Amino acid sequence: MSIFPFGRSVIIRLAGIAAILGLVLAAYLVWKRSTSEIAEAPIRAPPPKISASLVAPSLYCEFYDISNTIVVVGFDFVVAFPANASPRFSERYEGTQEGTRTFDSDHRPSWSYALDDDGNRMITSPDGATRIMLYGLKPNTGGTLAVEAGLRSNDFRNLDGQCRQANFGGHSTAQ
């Protein structure tokens, strides 16, 4: 005679519950991994494969959703510093969640450079619908520098973000 007459059925039930919990946990982990890979997928132009010192001056900006976790839009510019004139920002790439646009060198939109009423640097799209506020841009600084930025846009609304300026050193006469 067994002391625990219902022991075998309890063990079978516990094993069934453990198996179900294991399947639920595995499904959650698969779901979590697939959603985190989507959320972390960057919108970026491919990095250049040449020495940074040989790369033309450039500015790359990314702007994030309200949680600052997902990139909503990214812009990449080639920057020219003509003598005794404002810098020229030629857009070579724009990436969004819906897709990307790459502009060849003959048809790059030229964004205008100016100071706003508060003296902050900004660049404005050719149609005037999008402005990128560049807080902390340093036109005479070489190397690579992170710059706080803000996007003011009819399409994307107001978004916070960051830009990376590269190889601006010694080129600029901009204020």
In the chain, where are the structural domains located? 1-41, 52-166
Whether domain 52-166 has CATH 2.40.128: the reply is: yes
Single out the residue of 29, 48, 26 nearest to residue 37, CA to CA.
29
Q: How many CB atoms lie within 10 A of CB 121?
A: 21
pLDDT of residue 29: 78
Q: Do strands 88-96 and 71-80 pair parallel, antiparallel, or not at all (unpaired)?
A: antiparallel
Joined together, the tokens standing for residue 165 give: 């300026």
What is the rounded distance in angstroms from the CA atom of residue 146 to the CA atom of residue 100?
23
- C-beta separation of 144 from 166 below 8 A: yes
pLDDT, one tens digit for every residue, the chain (175 residues): 555 555 667 777 877 888 888 878 777 777 777 655 555 555 565 555 545 555 689 999 999 998 888 899 999 999 998 888 889 999 999 998 888 889 988 889 999 999 989 899 999 999 999 999 999 888 888 888 999 999 999 888 899 999 999 988 755 444 4
